[in-house]
Amino acid sequence: MLKARILTVIVILPLFLLAVFYFQDIFWAILILALTVVGAREWSKLAQFSVRNTIIFMLFTALLGSELLIYLRESLKTNAYSLDFVILYGISVVFWALVVPFYLRKSFSFESPVTWMLIGWVVLLPTCLALYQLRIISPVLLLGTMGVIWISDTAAYFTGRSLGKHKLAPEISPNKTWEGVAGAIVAVLLYGLAWVIMGVGKENLVFVLLPLLVAMTALGIIGDLYESLLKRQAGVKDSGNILPGHGGILDRIDALTSTLPFATLAILFYSSEL
């Protein structure tokens, strides 16, 4: 398993970096739309859709995603910091910060396919748009933002394995611990301080950046726990098998779905104040 995970990273990471830095905007949009549709297929599995509902959900995700990306692409041609989609990003933030924690505490499930579809779009579409807009603003900024989650996950894993004693959510994800959360926060704060030391932004950036990174870390953990609960309710280990050793697309972007829209919203409002 570990060998497969490492080989997958070795193959996928250079291709992803190539896409981030060298793809034309239209090809980047096509790529993230395709990943969003694959994510929709995996969401259908977690929601336990019928074949008919799976097809409907994937088709509407492709249509909605393409229309939104076309509109966003035109909007960003005149202003990379366009606020046209702040409402959609805001809906995502409210969902992850308020709705999902309640859902995790109660651990209930929905019966209506329409409800599952609406939730799926709240999870997938703002993430797709955030991936596009952040790259237009700066590919380095996109990677730096995603790096918060990569560092958080890595630090939480190793800290939890070595020091973890107090379970975070044993009924949802038994391996996660409060010590892992603490390790993630410390690592992310050091990452943020490195940004400041390297002179990324203004001198007072530290007072804005560090609280945002802590918030992103918390949201990332919530996103991870949410997908873990959905997989447990659906009785599956992974959302898919497209990435050997890693599972599906949703398994890899679970924390990004809860953090990228928030990060984009924060960046847009911070830039508007400058």
**pLDDT exceeds cutoff 70 at 202:** no
Residues 6+ apart with CB under 8 A from 82: 72, 75, 76, 133
| Number of structural domains found in the chain | 1
Distance CA 138, CA 145 (A): 11
For the cut 80, the answer to whether the pLDDT of residue 264 exceeds it is yes
pLDDT score recorded for residue 272: 61
With 70 as the cut, is the pLDDT of residue 198 above it? yes
Give pLDDT, residue 74.
94
133-143 pLDDT per residue, tens: 999 999 999 99
Please count the residues of the chain. 274
Mean pLDDT for the chain overall: 89
Model confidence at 199: pLDDT above 70: no
pLDDT band for position 204 (50/70/90)? low
Listed ranges 5-14, 36-45, 102-111, 188-197; the one with the highest mean pLDDT? 36-45
Of 58, 125, 59, nearest to 87 by C-alpha is 125
Cα separation, 1 vs 149, whole angstroms: 22
Q: Give the orientation angle of helix 139-163 with respect to helix 178-197, to 10 degrees.
A: 140
Instruction: Encode burial over 63-92: b for 16+ CB neighbours within 10 A, e otherwise.
Output: ebbbebbeebbebbeeeebbebbbebbebb
Burial of 111: CB neighbours in 10 Å, binned 0-12, 13-18, 19+: exposed
What is the share, in percent, of the chain residues with pLDDT greater than 90? Answer: 67
Indicate if the pLDDT at residue 112 is higher than 80.
Answer: yes
**What's the rounded Cα separation, in Å, for the pair 260 and 258?**
6
Tally of CA atoms within 13 A in the half-sphere of 67 that contains its CB? 6
How many CA atoms lie less than 13 Å away from 238 in the CB half-sphere?
A: 13
Looking at residue 99, the DSSP 8-state letter turns out to be I
Rounded to whole angstroms, the Cα distance separating 202 from 190 reads 18
Q: Is 201's pLDDT higher than 60?
A: no
Range scoring the smallest mean pLDDT among 7-21, 166-180, 213-227: 7-21
- pLDDT over 70, % of the chain: 92
257 pLDDT higher than 60: yes
pLDDT band at residue 39, thresholds of 50, 70 and 90?
A: very high
Burial tier of 176 (Cβ tally within 10 Å: 0-12, 13-18, 19+): buried
Total-model pTM: 0.92
Instruction: Give the structural domain span for 217.
Output: 2-273
pLDDT in tens, 6-31: 777 777 888 888 999 999 999 999 99
